[in-house]
Amino acid sequence: MTRGKFIAFEGGEGAGKSTQARLLAAELERRGIVCVVTREPGGTPGAEAIRALLLGTEGEGWHPRAEALLFAAARSDHVERLIVPALERGEWVICDRFVDSSRAYQGGAGGLSDDDVLSLHRVGSQGLLPDLTLLIEVSPEVAEARVHARDLGSPDRIGGRDGAFHARVTAAFLAMAKAEPARFARIDGNGDAECVFGDILGTLQSHFGAP
Ligand code: Z5A
């Protein structure tokens, strides 16, 4: 049995990750590839319970260290119970955020070192990394307009942080993409969804050959 491919979508809030993950899953299924679409934090009942703590008011005032531990715990369950079994069945896994979000939000923007975040990932998830990470990049104005239109001004606890925090997130993602060009592909997410999806399909073609 050939192991499936693991693809993660990353980027700031409102970049279009969930939209593109759904489009990709539909296209892969159309080509006869079985895939699982999942998200972080979440994806298993235990990890979804941790998500509710992290994004709800219970998490108010937690230090980035506490956040990083909980994201890593949620990810550990997600990797062990959903991601690895699916890959071993030969399915493709499309994940809306993964460890690079912890590196960007709790690391680059929250002040933890990249080594510390990756250490938690080694303990929790045996250091599993995606085969390909699609970083969807949009301008702050586009992201804000999309999120505002969708959430009508009620962001979650982390999404609602100030512009300086989100600018540090963006800078951290960019630094990772530049440091690991073999795993990351940068996608311009400012255009309409079909146009962005066309770029993603082109990237998959050059990364994996025709799926
Ligand atoms: N977080 C963390 O701190 N550490 C971690 O390790 C992890 C996560 C894993 C999860 O929030 C929060 O947890 C997140 C990071 C933090 N907080 N922030 N910021 P979430 O899962 O609830 O939300 P999100 O991951 O930030 O994603 P999002 O807001 O749902 O955005 P998105 O998935 O990138 O976008 P979307 O839902 O596909 O699209 C947003 C809207 O724009 C929607 O109405 C679409 O119809 C529209 N859209 C999408 N694409 C387009 C295009 N191309 N044109 C026009 N309109 C579009």
Beta partners for 35? 92
Q: Calculate mean pLDDT across residues 85-93.
A: 98
pLDDT computed for residue 59 by the predictor: 76
Q: Calculate mean pLDDT across residues 4-32.
A: 97
- What number of other Cβ atoms are within 10 A of residue 46's Cβ? 16
**Which of 146, 147, 148, 190 has most ligand 1 atoms within 8 Å of its beta carbon, as the pocket-test mutant?**
146
Cβ(127)–Cβ(118) below 8 Å: yes
- pLDDT above 70 (res 153): no
Q: Which is more confidently placed, 157 or 3?
A: 3
Residue 10 structure tokens: 């990353």
- Kindly list the distances between the CA atom of residue 80 and the CA atoms of 46, 47, 73, 151, 206, in Å, as whole numbers in the listed order: 12, 11, 11, 32, 29
Residue 10 CA, ligand 1 centroid: distance in Å: 9
Domains and CATH numbers, the chain: 6-208 (3.40.50.300)
Q: Calculate mean pLDDT across residues 39-58.
A: 95
- pLDDT above 90 (res 158): no
- pLDDT above 80 (res 20): yes
Does the global pTM surpass 0.95? Answer: yes
